[in-house]
Amino acid sequence: MNWIIPLALLLAAFWTAVIVSWMVTVVLLPVAIWAVARFYLRGDDLSRYDGERPGGEPPPPSDAHFETVELLQRMGENAPKGPRRQRLKRLREAMDQMGEGRAGDAEIRAVDVAGVPGEWVLAPGADPSRRLLYLHGGAFVMGSPMSHRPITARLSEIAGASVLAVDYRLMPEHKRLDCLADCQTAYRWIIDHGPAGAAPVATLFVAGDSAGGNLTLALIAWARDVGLRRADAAVALSPATDATLSSPSILENLDSDHMLGPMFRPFAKLPKTLALWFGWLTTGVRPCDPRVSPAHGNLDNLPPTLVHASEAELLIDDARRYVNKARAAGSPAELETWHHVLHVWHIFEDRLPEAQAAFERIGVFLESVAPRRSSGESSTPQSLDAG
């Protein structure tokens, strides 16, 4: 019977250790999760770049704006249901259909961009040596050169440029950084290739919207860092610049953003710490990594950059912070905002006067930083029909 007391003491010690270990885990695990999010995933506090918001009474939106909002609401009501994979497939098809037949007089030419599918969009008179690389939006999970032809065709027209739109790899079939890698491939390629084949670029622009705006801003920083030819200018339309989701407008504009608000609302309920972990685990990249969050990167020595955003959208503070930080770093950056309008309202250029005005501003900007050659200027332009 002498063994009973030592056994009891041993069992008591064991269960005490188990209980203490469990209590330590319960207390420390949440602290560890928070600490990783706060000090490893969130990155620098960008609130010092918030700047002042425009004051005064904003002008009323056009009648076409309300019609477009109603169109979006009907599309939301008819959104596909079912398993996630099938739903995403149908959403991609529906988004592509939005661009079908909306390229105007522009010629569309399919092209292999060093293994990345793409297309040249050539408005009448487009200069083959004056090129614009366009990166479409779609939250990195949908969108294509076809879906964004209303934008690329208009850009080719107002810039007098040959526009190359690339069909970069999408999530979730591919990794988040695969999207950027394909855009990097296209950037290298367009420097030496035009619509008719190998030929050096004379003028180079980079542009994109939403997710593509994010890729645009990440791309111009990458090109600087690896020593490639600098773009003459960049244009980012409603760009996502901060994957840490720290911008105040992400929550403040949930009701006023008729495009992104309904999709983001369920995600907005997540605590900030969990949202950061979710972003990290789903992409494999820290949310504050400049490759996915250009606003967290080094923004000096960048090309002239024009950013458009709506004061009503979730990403307005992403745009504002990026531009203010770039200007503080000495890079020429400009933010132009519109009131009321939709996220990437430019895609409705054929019906929204606000979009038509936005493209006029883009045309003025591109011409100011890289004027087109006059008809009498000596040059040896490459024929679009050569090769």
**SS3 of residue 353 by DSSP:** helix
Q: Establish whether 313 is a catalytic residue.
A: yes
Q: Which residues pair with 309 in a beta bridge?
A: 337
CB crowding 350-374: b at 16 or more within 10 Å, else e: eebebbeebbebbbebbeebbeeee
346 included as an active-site residue: no
């990458």: which residue's tokens?
Answer: 222
Report the distance separating Cα 330 and Cα 100, nearest Å. Answer: 41
Length of the chain in terms of residues written: 387
Note if 210 is an active site residue. yes
Residue 303 tokens read as: 């090309």
- Beginning with the edge strand found earlier in the chain, give each strand of the sheet holding 161-166 in spatial order: 107-113, 116-122, 161-166, 127-135, 203-209, 233-237, 305-310, 333-338
The pairing of beta strand 197-198 with beta strand 203-209: unpaired
Q: How far is CA 191 from CA 9, 35, 53, 227, 384, in A?
A: 77, 44, 38, 13, 16
Rounded Cα–Cα distance for residues 304 and 265 (Å): 34
Among the options 156, 246, 293, 313, which is catalytic?
313
Say if CB 195 and CB 109 are below 8 A apart: yes
Instruction: Select which of 210, 238, 247, 331 is catalytic.
Output: 210
Of residues 285, 302, 125, the one with CA closest to residue 230: 302
Catalytic center residues = 210, 313, 343
